[in-house]
């Protein structure tokens, strides 16, 4: 698989990564550990070298899974994990320097590594100056415990504040044909500063695969049950997006998911989507998206048609939306 560079500090990964959260968190089910290790090993076999986890996924058990699965391949892969939530009681955010250090030490042990490849601040903490966050991660980099610094769901102001203290290699935020807000200010800022972009939910939390409709029901423990955009009423309105993508897929002899991922890959050479899955056939389908190419005219046609479609519903519940930096 093609490699891409995230940021200008030297981080190079496969063009497509693997989001591992859903293997043990977020969808109401903790998948069989042995099966998930097999899936991760297949991803490596097929060329994926970039794996995404976080201490809050579980909490803790997803990092343990990823650490165990990747231990035999440590020199071939890059692991991204995250700090910034209160995982030991109390809830909410916590990016105080002492907590960042504590999380780093614990994550190193759970991941069974000597250095964390990419350490993201999971959410901007309004109670802690960004300069203190970036400075603490910068110190961890100097100490050899972290290689690269990342941010997740950060706004332009905080991206600039962090980057001025410690160069940021990657920003992780939601981005897809269904959610294009980053194009307004985030992507131009990343391009200016030389920061890579890692879109999560590149398939719209599964919606852009075409496998979800207004009759789909989500388990109460599945976080998608709280997403306004995925209510039955909004799904019904948003299916026009899936129909649009399905038409492109038919012309390109591809699946809707492959079109959605290939479109992201075509936007910038420093964009690396991280679709998550727990199924072998979906993993292989996603990987094959890297072979789908668009001409300049095709991209312009997609842009023209997509601009006519308006999505319905917010992408986060009210509580989660409060943690998004603007």
Task: Please provide the average confidence, as pLDDT, over all residues in the chain.
Answer: 97
Spatial distance between the Cα atoms of 102 and 117, rounded to a whole number of angstroms:
17
DSSP annotation of 116 reads E
Give tens-digit pLDDT for 59-82: 999 999 999 999 999 999 999 999
Section 212-240 average pLDDT: 95
The pLDDT, as a whole number, for residue 91 is: 87
Residue 27 belongs to some domain of the structure: yes
Look at residue 319 and tell me whether its pLDDT is greater than 90: no
Residue 148 belongs to some domain of the structure: yes
Assign 89 a pLDDT band (cuts: 50, 70, 90): confident
Q: In this prediction, what percent of the chain has a pLDDT beyond 70?
A: 100
Give tens-digit pLDDT for 259-285: 999 999 999 999 999 999 999 999 999
Residue 326 belongs to some domain of the structure: no
How many domains are there within the chain?
1
User: Three-state DSSP class for 19?
Assistant: strand
Spatial distance between the Cα atoms of 222 and 209, rounded to a whole number of angstroms:
18
The pLDDT, as a whole number, for residue 262 is: 98
Residue 19 belongs to some domain of the structure: yes
Assign 90 a pLDDT band (cuts: 50, 70, 90): confident
CATH (domain of 171): 3.20.20.100
Joined together, the tokens standing for residue 60 give 């803790």
DSSP annotation of 49 reads -
Spatial distance between the Cα atoms of 105 and 3, rounded to a whole number of angstroms:
29
- Out of 57, 120, 148, 175, the active site residue is 57
Section 238-249 average pLDDT: 97
Assign 317 a pLDDT band (cuts: 50, 70, 90): confident
Section 218-238 average pLDDT: 95
Can you give the residue range of the structural domain that contains 203? 3-321
pTM above 0.75, yes or no: yes
Question: Can you list the pairs that 9-12 forms with residues at least 24 positions away whose Cβ atoms lie under 8 Å?
Answer: 9/148, 9/167, 9/169, 10/148, 11/78, 11/117, 11/118, 11/147, 11/148, 11/169, 11/170, 11/196
Give tens-digit pLDDT for 126-173: 999 999 999 999 999 999 999 999 999 999 999 999 999 999 999 999
100, 137 contact by CB (below 8 A)? yes
Joined together, the tokens standing for residue 39 give 């899936």
Residue 60 belongs to some domain of the structure: yes
Spatial distance between the Cα atoms of 46 and 1, rounded to a whole number of angstroms:
8
The C-alpha angle with vertex 97 and arms to 94 and 101, in degrees rounded to 5, equals 95
Catalytic status, residue 148: no
Residue 196 belongs to some domain of the structure: yes
In angstroms, the Cα distances linking 209 to 49, 53, 136, 177, 242 are 23, 22, 40, 12, 8
Give tens-digit pLDDT for 165-206: 999 999 999 999 999 999 999 999 999 999 999 999 999 999
């Amino acid at each position: 698989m093609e490699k891409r560079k995230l940021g200008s500090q030297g981080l190079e990964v496969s063009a497509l990564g693997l989001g591992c959260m859903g293997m043990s968190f977020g969808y109401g089910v903790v998948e069989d550990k042995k099966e998930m290790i097999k899936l991760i090993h297949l991803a490596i076999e097929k060329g994926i070298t970039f794996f995404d986890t976080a201490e809050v996924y579980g909490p803790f058990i997803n990092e343990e899974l990823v650490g165990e699965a990747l231990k035999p391949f440590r020199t071939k892969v890059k692991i991204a994990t995250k700090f910034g939530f209160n995982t030991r009681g109390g809830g909410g955010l916590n990016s105080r320097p002492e907590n960042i250090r504590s999380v780093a030490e614990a994550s190193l042990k759970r991941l069974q590594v000597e250095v964390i490849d990419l350490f993201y601040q999971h959410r901007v903490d309004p109670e802690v100056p960004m300069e203190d966050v970036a400075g603490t991660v910068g110190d961890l980099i100097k100490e050899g415990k972290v290689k690269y610094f990342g941010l997740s769901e950060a706004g332009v102001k905080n991206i600039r504040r962090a980057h001025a203290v410690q160069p940021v290699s990657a920003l992780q935020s939601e981005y897809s044909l269904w959610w294009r807000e980053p194009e307004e200010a985030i992507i131009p800022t990343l391009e200016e500063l030389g920061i890579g972009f890692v879109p999560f939910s590149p398939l719209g939390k599964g919606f852009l695969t075409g496998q979800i409709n207004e009759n789909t029901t989500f388990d109460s423990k599945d976080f998608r049950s709280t997403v306004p955009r995925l209510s039955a009423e909004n799904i019904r309105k948003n299916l026009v997006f899936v129909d649009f993508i399905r038409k492109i897929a038919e012309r390109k002899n591809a699946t809707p998911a492959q079109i959605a991922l290939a479109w992201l890959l075509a936007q910038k050479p420093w964009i690396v989507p991280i679709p998550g899955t727990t199924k072998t056939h979906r993993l292989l389908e996603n990987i094959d998206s890297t072979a789908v190419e668009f001409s300049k005219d095709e991209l312009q046609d997609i842009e023209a048609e997509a601009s006519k479609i308006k999505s319905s519903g917010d992408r986060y519940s009210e509580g989660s939306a409060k943690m998004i930096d603007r």
